[in-house]
Structure 1
Amino acid sequence: MLSDGALCGLLNSGACMRASAFSNSFPSPFFLLFFPALRYTSPSLILFSFVNVVALIRVLPPFRYMLNERRPQVHLPVTEARAAIVRMIRRHNAVVIVGETGSGKTTQIPQYVWDDIVSKGDGGIVGCTQPRRVAAVSIARHVAQQRGGKVGGEVAYAVRFDDTCTKNTKIKFMTDGILLREIQTDPDLTHYRCLILDEAHERTLHGDVLFGLLKDIARRRKNTLSIVIMSATLNEEHFSKFWWDAPVGVIHGRTFPVTIYHTVEPQADYVEAAVSALLQIHQREEPGDVLCFLTGREEIEDAKRMLEQRMKLLPNDIGDFVVLPLYSAMPYEQQLVVFDPAPPGKRKIIIATNIAETSITVEGIKYVVDSGVVKAKHYNSKTGMEVLAEVDVSRAQATQRAGRAGRVAAGKCFRLYTAQAFESLHENTVPEIQRCSLISVVLQMKSLNIDRIADFEFMDAPNPHALTKAEETLMLLNALDSEGCVTPLGKRLTDFPIEPAAAMVLLAGKALGVEREAVIAIAMTSTENLFVTSRDIKERADRCKGAFAKSAGDHATLVSIYQAFKHSPKDQRKLWCETNAISYRQMLKVQDVITQLMAILAEGDDEELLATLVPKSVRQALSHKATDESCAVVSGSNDDNTVTNGYDHQWEPGANGRSSGLKFRDFELLRRALCCGYFLNVAFYNAKIGNFQTVVGQQVVHIHPSSVLFTLRRKPALVLFNSVVRTTRRYMQNVSVVQEAWLRETSSFSRMML
């Protein structure tokens, strides 16, 4: 595979992997029963079956640098391969580099390319894509610090709603979605000399589209654009073949074996099983930090609470541990805590999502607990519904997770599933392009004059039915005409860095005169983790959310919350957020998103487009409605915007002493605007079955417990929702009450019902 002889020698110069055989017996400490008073273990978890599987993990030395050194001298496997990597990139238009997580490839190779190639050439910058915004931001900060500067200078990042790049930027880290949007305004990406696509194995939706687009761009810019594909774990032959049989370089490091254990039986509750396994490890295993993989914030917080409660029941001679959560929506400063050493005499237990598989490397991990599940989006082209659901990991993911235990010494991985279950897993993760909704990328590709998407050179072709469904949906939105070409409305929708349905809501809001309220609703629903949900303050958080509740639904409630936040004195907003169990940091992000979306909304001359969204006659009729009806929450009122589920808390007065509530007409018009974008996401209450069913596909769905509509005694006849998440049931998230007449006034819904 390696066509460059010199590269062969340097990149494979790491220590050879050492195999190790183990007996088929389980370690004796795990035969001990738990103390009876604890009562937290499930019987099937007491004994693990030891499967004679040894994962050979290449472990890399810790990364250290001095803050004052512009060029820190670090001992990383990638350092020894620097000359060979640079030579390979110079000689080939595209290269594939596989390096274990922690080898230094992500932080060092962009610097090598700039220092040794681009800075000595004819100009241009180095771009590096990441599948997650948290990785793009943290890596940029790390590299900027290494080079003795700050983000926004020589090194910068660009993620959705946050761009730190300047005219002085030489190395740019970004999400793959950002680069895809840049192609719309610069089809040949002329300001880049080298593009590095990192974590390519994750096969994100935008990443797969980028592969095909960049391949065309590289053909047109032969010898002036270098493409580097990087990953910690990769089907290198598949990638190499796609990129014209590109040479593959493998960066090795020191290796330590990891012993793999599986459960004897399947676990009905993997969160409970994970907690039990973590406690067993803490009591019975040698010192060393632990990394546990769960699926999301709520599970992580639950497990953290359970561990901290049960730690109090441990005997006095058992040392303490500290539990640290880790997920992508956490503030950057909080994520950094996981890198700090554990306090003296304590063990560090990190409970993380799949962000800890490759995006973030924590040193000192000796034990891994793998739940075997991950949250992923799946699209059903028959029902038109995209659902975020818990699914099994692939074997490649499981191997990557196990490998986190062997970076500093021989480690152990405890899988909360059977050996037979492992063998039945998919070998690799199914690419997002084969399991997600394609509406956004189809519109983006169409706007780039790619008319026949079915003929596009994908690495792995998407489902033809999903492509057809995406085009049909865009036609319903008036984003594509009957010939499949982008309409002026479709082109306008691509101006917004959000999904087409959400962008349609903003334009409809502009047509109805409630553009700011529409922008607030979209910004609030686009920002994760607005509410503090740790169990110790969850009840208070629920009460505070209820104080702003509107029976119009979640969108009106979120607008109410933001308006109350803005009406608070500026120097008291942080305290206001703490009082109401709301994340101050996330509210600041919402402010930034609102500013950017309002600016984009103001840029266009949209009068003709607005007429196609909301007929002028409807706008005129609505403008004559009374505007003095209050939306304040008054228990017992028959107002459409009155909560009847027990909330009776009036809004706190704003800075001027008056209620910060919106008027009734605004909430009605806001919901009408929502109907223009989310007309496909509508469900009606079926009294016969006592549940909601979607209009499209007749799928049974439930209002999510986090919704202000969840506890309503009288169910609304018709609701609209942003998304669906599946756990034990299909739950609608961000739900609002709507009327059939509003939907029928939208041309998109009318065409859909024909």
Structure 2
Amino acid sequence: MAEDQHRSKRRKTKADGSVVRIGDKVISLSAYLQPTQQPKKEQPVTDQQTATPTEKTQAETVKQDKKLKPERRPKFAPDSPLLKSRKALPIWSYQDEICSSLRGANDVLLIVGETGSGKSTQTPQFLCSEPWCRRKKVRVQSQEVNVGGVIAVTQPRRVAATTLANRVAQEMGTPLGSSREGSVGYSVRFDHNVPKGTKVKFLTEGMLLQEILRDPNLRQYSAVIVDEIHERSVDVDLIAGFLKQILSSDKSGRGGIPLKVVIMSATADVEKIQDFFKPQQPEASVQFLRIKGRQYPVEVKHTDKPVLDLQEALMKQIFKIHLQEPLPGDILAFLTGQEEIETAQRLIEEYTATLAPNMPKLMAYPLYGQLSMQAQQDAFRPTKKGFARKVVLATNIAETSVTVPGVRYVIDCGKAKVKQFRSRLGMESLLAKAISKSSAIQRTGRAGREGPGKCYRLYTSETYDSLRDADLPEILRNDVLGAVLTMKARGINDILSFPLMDSPDIESIEKALMYLHFLGAVADDGSITDIGKKLALFPVSAPYGRVLIAACEPEFDCLLEVIDIIACITSGENIFHQLQSEEAKEEVEELRRELYRREGDIVTYLTTMQQYTAENSDRVEWCKKRRINVRNMRQALNIRKQLRGLCLREGMLREPPPPDPQPFSPLSPERAEALLRCFLRGFVGKCALLAPDSSYVTIQGKHVVAIHPSSTLHGQKKEAIMFLEHVFTQKNYAKKVSAVQADWIVEAMTRGGGGGGGV
């Protein structure tokens, strides 16, 4: 009796959610919690094995927890800093509205959330625990398949996808890299981190397009969130079209389960998007929410008169802020490109070395698209030196999606490099052009994300008033070759009938189809070929993909060499630093001469990569001596690794290549010829012949081009040249140039790309 009383008291002092107390009786709920569990035979136990009812219930609860495997949800204390910061976001109070907007027959939600509202990080977290977001087993064409369970969040840039994924992973209690399992992952070109059990997956628009080609119904996703749609890239316009097709289909490819779509932007054309996604069912509609941002006041300062030298004005403004404005308060400066950023970084490093010891240091961090993932993340971390100010030198990739912590001062140069394709000339221009008012407002907002700030615009208020309201959609100004190939690979035969918010002109589409026909990507009847399907899945442009395929042919047999070259070309603006002074040229001339090849830039890239990977001591020092961009070479190594892995998986490589370092062996003239003829399979349309007046005239369009000063063939005269890029800056330039022979061009045009005719 005494023992029973003792046990009763012990039960009362122990809280247990799986038991009910009525008076002094304790009733276990384990039978109700585990109705399917089979009762075990009672075994005789010794005193040491005796368990109290409470202990038994706890053990049963643990078993039950293991069996049910509940979703990993963040278990934050009420005073958790992460939870507090989430609740402080303006979007937090809209959680119920966002969730209820996608219940029932409504499958599309448009959120216009101002800068700082928290839409990019919070919306997927609100939705991933909704009942419709669970993975379900369904029958599709007599097969049992899984549908849903994951939310995709597209971003226009790699840095946004990876940064947001890291932040949301922390907020959901499963930081990336801490375990093989987790709630959040990301997928960008040449870099994937998708843990087992991922519920939210951030990815670039291009990566989602790749997934659409492999799975047109996007079966792994319950929802797709399209973020920053106002940027109107070619990829996001294609995604919008494919999503519209899925939404308007009979959903049989998803076993009848609808796909939810959320469109998000800071500055969207609401009516246009609502009209585009307008559902066919009368009972459904495009839901719309407008969310105010958390924006502190920002003082905007314009120049009194137009600025003649942007680089000089920007440097002066950075130094002035550093000397006159108090700490803490970091600087975000918008520049036009990688070359300008690296020049500014060098000048800042020289300047900070001259500062007095009692002055805070000025730490410069670059931020642009081709930068390695690690270097991009460095721009978001606090400076390691306590008594210092950080200045982030960025292109327009820092305009939207991501917040650089600590920024109080923004310097806006008012320009951005814009690609524009001229289909009649078959030429792309890359010029620094004035930004739109929308971009200027976005840049200004970066100074007021964490507190009151200042924005210094390096242009007059009159110039601002003259800016256009928004940028022209990319699909109306860029080459549509990749877009047409993607549509063909997805089975869209009638390109003109594909749903797009803005359609490119017919001439651009026709030119793209002709080029794809030459590459062997489309047949005479316009249908996609096996080569075309393969090209669409490569993470490089169609011409480079065609060169990769040709490199596997016995005639050329140069796949590893082609991978090395493509890795160098796609790693950044240029692996070679431009030498400004004669003194600098003299310093590195001898060492660079070891890399330069008379055949031109393609073989020079190969020689550089082969010598770099053969270096067994200090690769950084090797690059510095030759004034080669260290960051770009590291990125090239990463791309090389990814392309080699892809070619192994596709059966294009029979066995893994030997590991680095390998002894360097110069390419023979015969092998160099085979390599250049291989590149003609993708780039015969970009060739020019030497004219009697010593100028080069393109074989397509008969345009005069000059060899760009950055080329090893600059100033030389060859019978014919092949160029991988064709741009207009100050004049009509051919870039990445190699010497070829006229009969090679004729041969390549006659043979085509393996399935098409000539051009």
Q: Which TM-score applies when normalising by structure 1?
A: 0.77
Compute the RMSD of aligned alpha carbons: 3.3
The aligned runs of 1:176-575 (5 Å cut-off) are: 176-220=205-249, 221=251, 224-244=258-278, 246-285=286-325, 287=327, 288-309=329-350, 321-341=362-382, 343-344=385-386, 346-511=388-553, 512=555, 513-528=557-572, 531=575, 533=577, 544-569=591-616
- Of structures 1 and 2, the one with the larger relative CO (CA 8 A, separation 6+) is 1
Cα distance in 1 between the residues matched to 2:424 and 2:498: 23
Q: Tell me the secondary structure at the aligned position of residue 297 of structure 2.
A: strand
**1:394 to partner: Cα distance:** 1.1
Q: Quick one: which amino acid aligns to residue 83 of structure 1?
A: D
Whether 1:705 and 2:731 are equivalent positions in the alignment is no
Cα distance in 2 between the residues matched to 1:389 and 1:670: 32
Q: Residue 675 of structure 2 is aligned with which of 670, 675, 681?
A: 670
**1:700 to partner: Cα distance:** 4.1
The 10-residue stretch of structure 1 (116-125 or 189-198) with the greater mean CA deviation from structure 2: 116-125
Cα distance in 2 between the residues matched to 1:162 and 1:404: 27
Cα distance in 2 between the residues matched to 1:358 and 1:510: 41
Name the structure 2 match of 1:30: none
Cα distance in 2 between the residues matched to 1:585 and 1:317: 36
Deviations 1:598-637 (A, max 9, x none): 22663599xxxxxxxxxxxxxxxxxxxxxxxxxxxxxxxx
Mark the CA change 1:746 to 1:99 in structure 2 (over 3 Å): closer, same or farther.
Answer: same
Name the structure 1 match of 2:4: none
The 10-residue stretch of structure 1 (664-673 or 303-312) with the greater mean CA deviation from structure 2: 303-312
Cα distance in 2 between the residues matched to 1:290 and 1:534: 27
Unmatched segments (≥5 aa) in structure 1 = 1-64, 606-653
Cα distance in 2 between the residues matched to 1:379 and 1:80: 44
Name the structure 2 match of 1:108: 122
Cα distance in 1 between the residues matched to 2:344 and 2:396: 16
Mark the CA change 1:565 to 1:450 in structure 2 (over 3 Å): closer, same or farther.
Answer: same
Q: Tell me the secondary structure at the aligned position of residue 167 of structure 2.
A: helix
Name the structure 1 match of 2:281: none
Mark the CA change 1:542 to 1:289 in structure 2 (over 3 Å): closer, same or farther.
Answer: farther
**1:284 to partner: Cα distance:** 4.6
Q: Say whether the 8 Å CA contact 2:333–2:394 is kept in structure 1.
A: yes
**1:236 to partner: Cα distance:** 2.5
Q: Quick one: which amino acid aligns to residue 308 of structure 2?
A: A
Cα distance in 2 between the residues matched to 1:282 and 1:341: 17
Q: Residue 721 of structure 1 is aligned with which of 704, 720, 723?
A: 723
Cα distance in 1 between the residues matched to 2:202 and 2:593: 40
**1:542 to partner: Cα distance:** 6.9
Cα distance in 1 between the residues matched to 2:276 and 2:312: 43
Name the structure 2 match of 1:595: 644
Name the structure 2 match of 1:153: 181
Cα distance in 2 between the residues matched to 1:749 and 1:679: 11
**1:141 to partner: Cα distance:** 2.6
Q: Say whether the 8 Å CA contact 2:412–2:443 is kept in structure 1.
A: yes
Mark the CA change 1:137 to 1:230 in structure 2 (over 3 Å): closer, same or farther.
Answer: same
Q: Which TM-score applies when normalising by structure 2?
A: 0.76
Name the structure 2 match of 1:681: 686
Unmatched segments (≥5 aa) in structure 2 = 1-75, 137-147, 279-284, 655-659
Q: Residue 103 of structure 2 is aligned with which of 90, 108, 124?
A: 90
Cα distance in 2 between the residues matched to 1:541 and 1:175: 39
**1:431 to partner: Cα distance:** 0.9
Q: Tell me the secondary structure at the aligned position of residue 662 of structure 1.
A: coil
**1:408 to partner: Cα distance:** 3.4
The 10-residue stretch of structure 1 (306-315 or 155-164) with the greater mean CA deviation from structure 2: 306-315
Name the structure 2 match of 1:77: 90
- Equivalenced residue count is 636
Q: Tell me the secondary structure at the aligned position of residue 90 of structure 1.
A: coil
Q: Tell me the secondary structure at the aligned position of residue 382 of structure 1.
A: coil
Q: Say whether the 8 Å CA contact 1:369–1:415 is kept in structure 2.
A: yes
**1:381 to partner: Cα distance:** 0.8
Q: Say whether the 8 Å CA contact 2:115–2:293 is kept in structure 1.
A: no
Q: Say whether the 8 Å CA contact 1:517–1:559 is kept in structure 2.
A: yes
Name the structure 2 match of 1:144: 169
Q: Quick one: which amino acid aligns to residue 707 of structure 2?
A: I
Identity of aligned pairs, percent? Answer: 35
Cα distance in 2 between the residues matched to 1:752 and 1:545: 40
Cα distance in 2 between the residues matched to 1:575 and 1:314: 27
Name the structure 1 match of 2:203: 174
Name the structure 1 match of 2:154: 129
Q: Tell me the secondary structure at the aligned position of residue 433 of structure 1.
A: helix
Cα distance in 1 between the residues matched to 2:516 and 2:578: 40
Q: Say whether the 8 Å CA contact 2:578–2:710 is kept in structure 1.
A: no
Q: Quick one: which amino acid aligns to residue 159 of structure 2?
A: V
Q: Quick one: which amino acid aligns to residue 346 of structure 2?
A: R
The 10-residue stretch of structure 1 (505-514 or 181-190) with the greater mean CA deviation from structure 2: 505-514
Name the structure 1 match of 2:23: none
Q: Say whether the 8 Å CA contact 1:373–1:391 is kept in structure 2.
A: yes
Cα distance in 1 between the residues matched to 2:564 and 2:750: 23
The 10-residue stretch of structure 1 (351-360 or 107-116) with the greater mean CA deviation from structure 2: 107-116
Deviations 1:234-291 (A, max 9, x none): 2233222222162222222444333333333333332222223333434455553322
Q: Quick one: which amino acid aligns to residue 391 of structure 1?
A: K
Cα distance in 2 between the residues matched to 1:694 and 1:749: 19
**1:575 to partner: Cα distance:** 6.6
Cα distance in 1 between the residues matched to 2:116 and 2:163: 14
Mark the CA change 1:743 to 1:489 in structure 2 (over 3 Å): closer, same or farther.
Answer: same
Mark the CA change 1:311 to 1:743 in structure 2 (over 3 Å): closer, same or farther.
Answer: same
- In our comparison, the structure showing a higher alpha carbon Rg is 2
Q: Tell me the secondary structure at the aligned position of residue 379 of structure 2.
A: helix
Cα distance in 1 between the residues matched to 2:361 and 2:220: 53
Cα distance in 2 between the residues matched to 1:604 and 1:332: 27
Q: Tell me the secondary structure at the aligned position of residue 427 of structure 1.
A: coil
**1:299 to partner: Cα distance:** 0.4
The 10-residue stretch of structure 1 (572-581 or 595-604) with the greater mean CA deviation from structure 2: 572-581
Q: Say whether the 8 Å CA contact 2:647–2:653 is kept in structure 1.
A: no
Cα distance in 1 between the residues matched to 2:374 and 2:712: 31
Q: Say whether the 8 Å CA contact 1:520–1:594 is kept in structure 2.
A: no
Deviations 1:169-201 (A, max 9, x none): 322211111111222221111111111111211
Mark the CA change 1:94 to 1:408 in structure 2 (over 3 Å): closer, same or farther.
Answer: same
Q: Tell me the secondary structure at the aligned position of residue 651 of structure 2.
A: helix
Cα distance in 1 between the residues matched to 2:649 and 2:688: 31
Mark the CA change 1:311 to 1:162 in structure 2 (over 3 Å): closer, same or farther.
Answer: closer
Q: Tell me the secondary structure at the aligned position of residue 416 of structure 2.
A: strand
Q: Say whether the 8 Å CA contact 1:506–1:518 is kept in structure 2.
A: yes
Q: Quick one: which amino acid aligns to residue 345 of structure 2?
A: K
